[in-house]
Structures are given as structure tokens and as C-alpha cells.
Amino acid sequence: MKKFYITTPLYYVNDKPHIGHAYTTILADVIARYKKMFNEKVFFLTGTDEHGQKVQEAADKLNTNAKQHVDKFHKNYIELWNKLNIDYDKFIRTTDQSHQSKVKIMLQNFWDKGEIYLSEYEGLYSVSEERFITEKEYSEGNFRQVTKIKEKNYFFRMSKYQSRLIEYIKQNPNFIMPDTRKNEILGFLRKPLADLCISRPKSRLKWGIEIPFDENYVTYVWFDALLNYITAIDWNQKEKNFNYWWPADYHLIGKDIITTHAVYWITMLMAAKLPLPKHILAHGWWLMENEKISKSVGNVVNPIDLIDYFGEDALRYFLMREMTLGQDSSFSFELFKKRFNDDLANDLGNVLNRVTILIRKFCKNKVPSITNTDDTDKDMIDKIKSLHKVATRHIEKLNISQLIDDVMSVVRDVNKYLEIKQPWKTLKVDQSNYDGLNTLSISAEAIAQATKILYPVIPGKSTSILSILGLNSKDFNNFEFGFLVNNNISKHGPLFPRIEND
Ligand code: MSP
């Protein structure tokens, strides 16, 4: 069995999650579910980033201490993942004892091997980014809360790995995806790479993992958080488990954290002499009226509200269908409503209703058998049979949006097929008319197979549709054609009631 290890970023617990955060985790969940569908053994990791200045400031604002703050706020993510039907294997918190102790082990190893040194540094520090920035970066104006700081700190010899990193990226064209991000990193690496400051003096920040060889410092939050990808799978604890899962197949991230992953993390792994992840995939941003959705802009869309009104599958469907990997996408309630009504209510919901009503009316509730098919039937059958291959091809490239589009086009074809065949007319005259019976059976089969392929995207609604068609979960992975014949169809209400204008 092939193994597949996929990760999301660890979310800062400085506020409530918004749909940008929900997107990455849904994407990871959808990919993980497809991989399981293809019989791969999957480990899906997500969690929360609980140290550092941002979290400390959020706690200060709420007049609470950092520990109490993270113990309370990380639950927002767990609650959201439950509501979104996210089937993760592990939720790591960077305040977990086992994570903290392994970060200390890594720091000690680096110190012992001379990968870390102490040095005085004077420079510009961006509080919002939690890192030292160059004069040039400052002049470009992308950083907030910049102050001048002079202090002694510990540095990781990141510069040592610059040429190896460039070489690796060039030799492995799919390592950083998409190409725009790869080129951005190669551009960044054209300038000399500085060493990375990996400590913060306790006089400035107490909320972090103490540096094991100097009690006056805590660890820089990114050095701590990035290590989660290996601490979560038992690095330095259960080597068998670690060696089985590592390296990760995909680190899914947003484009704003590509440098920390493609440069900091990869050079850390090089220094630790560990294998490198197979792919780092950076997606675009969710925008609202052309601005990134974010807490600081103040335009957040709360996913819980959308789930409470429209259900988790409506949100999963929208986010997966609407974003082309690598590009930015816009969110608006109008778009959300349109996508739901057009695709789920009008196409999928409508065709399901038509077919189940006709099977109830003309076939005593049973899916009829298929005999003497004509060319139109055969065309439809070919489309149904191609669905699994289409899914496999798109998943290889993680092209979820295109996959959904192709499946929905088959669903729309069923509506057209019904219009051509008009089984309600032939069966009204003769209930044993094989052409009418074939049409209903093949249409039901098309809906079932399309729904099975959509299962990773809309698991809840897919389960309902497949159970209406007389299938239970052990059949969801069976793509044999004609599997539905003789199944009893259950009565059901509308699965995707249209969202009306209010
Ligand atoms: N804690 C770090 C990641 C550490 S990973 C070891 C962090 N956290 S974050 O909460 O600020 O962001 C988490 C993820 O959410 C990032 O991948 C970021 O790109 C993503 N998004 C935040 N706002 C977003 C949008 N508006 N749209 C899409 N994703 C965005 O960075």
C-alpha cells in the first residue's frame, strides 16, 4: 500500500478562524479522502501554532495569560474542523509537551554540531511578521510595526545551505508548486541568504520554548512551529513510525508563508540531515472586494455562520469548486448563492429528484436492469465509466476545481439524456418499454457514480444521496458499472433547497 502524508499549516491561535483558514484544511481533507479512495494509506496532520509574539499580544489584549488563551482559543479550530467534517489523523498543538521536548532536542543537536551560534545583531524588526527585516524590505513598505532592535541572539547557519537549496529546487521541478512560487523563491535566493535568528530574549518575549542551552531565551516561533511536521509523527521517539511517514508528500500552505517553508524549513532539514518533503504547494488567497480576507483588514467571513445556514457541504463545495490552485479567488455571498443554486440545487439536486420520482412511479421503486442499449445509452455509459479515470488524472495534479467541473458536466449530461429519451412518455404507454427502463437505470447509475466521485468534496450529502439509491458506505468505493440494478430507492425531500434572495 502506498503511503501519503499531508499537512496543513499550523494556525495561529490569536483569533477565530476565517474562510481562508478553512480553505487549506478542507483542501487537505479532500485530497486525503481521494487518496484513501485510491487505496493509499493516509496520514493527515493539522493543528495550532501557539507560541510567539502574536499569541502573546492576543492574550494581553484579552487580559488573560498566554496559556489560558491558547487552551481556550485552539478549541475554535477543533470545533470548526468538526463542523466541516474534517477527517484528520492528528491535531498537534505546539504547546504539547512531546512537541516541546523534541524542539529542544533539535536545538541541542544543532548547537552541538555548530549549526547555531550566538551573535550580536542590530537591525529592523517587524513585530507583525515576527522577524528581522532588511532595509530594502522596509523601504518596499510591506511590513507593519517596525522597530530598531540591538541584541544578542542565537542564529542558525542558514546561509551555508543556500547553493544546495537552489540546486535542489532546480533539479526537482515539482518540489515547489505552482511554478510562480518556485520562481519567486529562486528570485529570493539570487540575493545572499542571511543566517536565521532563532531566539528571542525573555526580556522581550517569554511565551515560547526555552532554548535548552540558554535559559534567557525562548525559541523563535517559526523554528518551533515548522518542526511540528516531524514531531507529530514521532521523530526521535518511534523511529519506525517516523521513517514510515517521513518525508511528507505535501505541505499545503498559503502563498504568504512560502519563504518560511521553502527556505527556513528546508535548510533546517538539510542541517538535520533528514530527507526533504516531496512537494510544497502554495495556494492563493481568498479575497473580498479585491482585498485579502484577514483579521487585520477586518473583512473576515466566519465559516461557522455559513455552515449554520447552508451546511458544511455547501461551503466545502464552494471553496473547492471556486479556487483554481495557485490563483487568488473572490468570495461574495452572491457568488456563493449562485454556485449553490446552479450546481447543487439545479443540476445535481434536480436530476436526482427527476430520476428517483420516475423510478418510483414506473418501476415499483426498484432500479431496472439494462438490456439492448442504443448509441445514446452507450455514450452515456462511456461517460460514466470514464469518471474514475478523470478523477485519478486530476488528483495527480491536485486539480480539484477541474475535477468537480468535469463531474458536474456529466451530471448535466444526464439531464440532457433524459430530455432526449423522455422515458416518462415511453413508460406511460408501456411500463416494460426497455428503452425507458434503460434510461432510468443508466441515469441512476450516473448519479451514483458521480456522487461517489464527489464524496471527498461533499461527504455528508454524498452519503445521503447514495443511501437514497440503496447503497451503504462499503459500496462507496465500488465503481463497477451496473451495481445499482435491483436496488430499492428511498423517498426523500429536496437535498439542496435553493437559496432564495432575502
Ligand atoms: N502559524 C503560521 C503557520 C505555521 S506553519 C508551521 C501562520 N498562521 S496563520 O494562521 O497566519 O495562517 C495560516 C494559513 O492560513 C496560511 O497558510 C495562510 O496563507 C492562510 N490564510 C490566511 N488568510 C488567508 C486568505 N485570506 N486566503 C487563503 N489563505 C489564507 O501563518
**C-alpha span between 424 and 399 (Å, rounded):** 38
Does 263 map to a domain? no
Cα 97 to ligand 1 centre (Å): 24
| Ligand 1 atom 19: residue of nearest CA | 254
Q: Does position 122 have pLDDT exceeding 90, yes or no?
A: no
Cα 454 to ligand 1 centre (Å): 26
**C-alpha span between 87 and 11 (Å, rounded):** 17
Q: Does position 105 have pLDDT exceeding 70, yes or no?
A: yes
Residue of 6, 24, 76, 222 to test ligand 1 pocket, by largest number of atoms within 8 Å of CB: 24
**C-alpha span between 17 and 217 (Å, rounded):** 30
What's the domain count of the chain?
A: 1
**Nearest Cα to Cα of residue 266 among 166, 340, 363, 382:** 166
Q: What's 332's DSSP letter?
A: -
| 293 Cβ below 6 A of ligand 1 | yes
**C-alpha span between 197 and 9 (Å, rounded):** 21
For residue 360, the enclosing domain spans 343-475
pTM for the predicted model, two decimal places:
0.96
**C-alpha span between 417 and 433 (Å, rounded):** 17
Alpha carbon 368 to its chain centroid, in Å, reads: 40
Cα 329 to ligand 1 centre (Å): 15
Q: Does position 196 have pLDDT exceeding 80, yes or no?
A: yes
Helix H or strand E encompassing 41: strand 41-49
Confidence band, pLDDT 50/70/90 cuts, at residue 358: very high
Helix ranges (DSSP H) in 53-147: 53-61, 66-83, 97-112, 135-140
Report the pLDDT averaged over residues 229-255: 98
Confidence band, pLDDT 50/70/90 cuts, at residue 502: low
| Ligand 1 atom 5: residue of nearest CA | 9
Residue 429 makes CB contacts below 8 A (sequence gap 6+) with none
Residue of 99, 227, 281, 285 to test ligand 1 pocket, by largest number of atoms within 8 Å of CB: 285
| Ligand 1 atom 25: residue of nearest CA | 20
Summarize pLDDT for 133-176 with one digit per residue, the tens: 888 888 887 787 898 988 999 999 999 999 999 999 999 999 99
| Ligand 1 atom 17: residue of nearest CA | 254
Cα 317 to ligand 1 centre (Å): 20
| 254 Cβ below 6 A of ligand 1 | yes
**C-alpha span between 331 and 230 (Å, rounded):** 34
Cα 49 to ligand 1 centre (Å): 10
- pLDDT given at position 252: 98
Report the pLDDT averaged over residues 441-468: 98
Q: Does position 34 have pLDDT exceeding 70, yes or no?
A: yes
Task: Please classify residue 151 by burial: count the beta carbons closer than 10 Å to its beta carbon, then call 0-12 exposed, 13-18 middle and 19+ buried.
Answer: middle
Q: Which residue in the block uniquely carries the three cell numbers 538535520? A: 272
Count CB atoms within 10 A of the CB of residue 188.
13
Does 454 map to a domain? yes
**Nearest Cα to Cα of residue 241 among 250, 249, 231, 251:** 231
Does 266 map to a domain? no
Does 379 map to a domain? yes
Q: Distance from first CA to last CA of the chain, Å, rounded?
A: 51
Q: Does position 127 have pLDDT exceeding 80, yes or no?
A: no
| 285 Cβ below 6 A of ligand 1 | yes
Q: Rounded mean pLDDT of the chain?
A: 95
Does 482 map to a domain? no
Cα 24 to ligand 1 centre (Å): 8
| Ligand 1 atom 24: residue of nearest CA | 20
Report the pLDDT averaged over residues 45-68: 94
| 286 Cβ below 6 A of ligand 1 | yes
Q: Helix (H, G, I), strand (E, B), or coil: what is residue 134?
A: coil
* Region for residue 141 given its phi and psi (left: phi exceeds 0; alpha: psi -120 to 50; beta: otherwise): left
- pLDDT given at position 144: 78
Angle at 400 between CA 394 and CA 405, to 5 degrees: 90
Q: Does position 131 have pLDDT exceeding 90, yes or no?
A: no
Does 412 map to a domain? yes
Helix ranges (DSSP H) in 15-96: 19-37, 53-61, 66-83
Summarize pLDDT for 402-414 with one digit per residue, the tens: 999 999 999 999 9
Contact predicate 180/186, CB 8 Å: no
* CATH number of the domain enclosing 450: 1.10.730.10
Cα 179 to ligand 1 centre (Å): 20
Confidence band, pLDDT 50/70/90 cuts, at residue 501: confident
Cα 16 to ligand 1 centre (Å): 12
Does 53 map to a domain? no
Which of 84-93 are b and which e, b meaning 16 or more Cβ less than 10 Å from the residue's Cβ?
bbbebeebbb
Share above pLDDT 90 across residues of the chain, in percent, rounded to a whole number: 87
Task: Please classify residue 474 by burial: count the beta carbons closer than 10 Å to its beta carbon, then call 0-12 exposed, 13-18 middle and 19+ buried.
Answer: exposed
Q: Does position 76 have pLDDT exceeding 90, yes or no?
A: yes
Does 457 map to a domain? yes
Least confident of 120-129, 204-213, 280-289: 120-129
Cα 3 to ligand 1 centre (Å): 26
Least confident of 57-66, 106-115, 268-277, 452-461: 57-66
